[in-house]
């Protein structure tokens, strides 16, 4: 019941102005562990610049599993708008750079976002996987739902980066339902 209520409330959340990621503000949340991600705080950081940070996932689902986050606190992929498509592309580039450095072939990669309420941390984070998955149970957390009837994705709690970019470029919002 709580998950359903949370999902419904998220539908009515006000979008960030001028793009959630591109806004030059340095908003952070004192209670968000990803807002304080650093080597000093126990994160295995493999990439950082002024806008993004990449680190190894603490519970890897794949042979290589990294998270790319914006330094600015953004709760989830549902907060992104059309003006964030370029920043999402940049997050994806960062993820692919990490996998390039590990020698992961293109056909063994998967990137994407969990959609609330099916995410574990409410700070936007891109999952970057160098396959194979460590188990079928772990792989099941990242289902790809192809789109149909003009939608980029089907009913799913996970959206591949490619799908998210297509949705944002069309001026739509990412959600659990086909979009």
For 62-86, the pLDDT digits (tens) are 999 999 999 999 999 999 999 999 9
- Give the per-residue pLDDT at 54: 99
Asked if the bond preceding 106 is cis, omega within 30° of 0, the reply is no
Reply yes or no on whether 127 is catalytic: yes
Q: How many CB atoms neighbour CB 45 within 10 A?
A: 15
- Give the per-residue pLDDT at 29: 78
Q: Which residues of 99-126 are buried (b: 16+ CB within 10 A; e: fewer)?
A: beeeebeeeebbbbbbbbbebeebbbbb
Residues 179, 177: Cα–Cα separation, whole Å: 6
Residues 14, 128: Cα–Cα separation, whole Å: 28
Q: Does the CA dihedral 130-133-138-143 come out positive or negative?
A: positive
- Give the per-residue pLDDT at 19: 54
Is the Cβ–Cβ distance between 67 and 121 less than 8 Å?
Answer: no
- Lowest-pLDDT range of 18-22, 127-131, 152-156, 168-172: 18-22
Q: Average the pLDDT over 143-163 and give the result.
A: 97
Catalytic: which of 114, 123, 125, 127?
127
Residues 38, 82: Cα–Cα separation, whole Å: 29
The model carries a pTM of 0.86
- Give the per-residue pLDDT at 34: 96
Domains detected in the chain:
42-169 (3.30.428.10)
Q: How far apart are the first and last CA of the chain?
A: 24
């Amino acid at each position: 019941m709580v998950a359903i209520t949370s999902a419904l409330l998220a539908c009515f959340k006000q979008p960030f102005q001028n793009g959630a990621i591109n806004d030059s503000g340095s908003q952070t949340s004192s209670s968000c562990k990803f807002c304080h991600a650093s080597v000093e705080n126990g994160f295995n950081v493999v990439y950082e610049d002024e806008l993004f940070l990449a680190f190894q996932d603490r519970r890897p689902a794949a042979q290589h599993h990294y998270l790319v986050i914006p330094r600015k606190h953004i709760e989830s992929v549902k907060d992104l708008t059309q003006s964030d498509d370029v920043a999402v592309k940049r997050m994806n580039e960062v993820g692919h750079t990490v996998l390039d450095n590990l020698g992961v072939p293109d056909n063994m990669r998967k990137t994407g976002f969990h959609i609330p309420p099916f995410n574990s941390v409410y700070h936007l984070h891109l999952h970057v996987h160098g396959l194979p998955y460590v188990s079928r149970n772990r792989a099941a957390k990242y289902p790809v739902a192809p789109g149909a009837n003009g939608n980029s994705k089907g009913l799913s709690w996970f959206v591949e980066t490619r799908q998210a970019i297509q949705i944002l470029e069309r001026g739509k919002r990412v959600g659990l339902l086909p979009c």
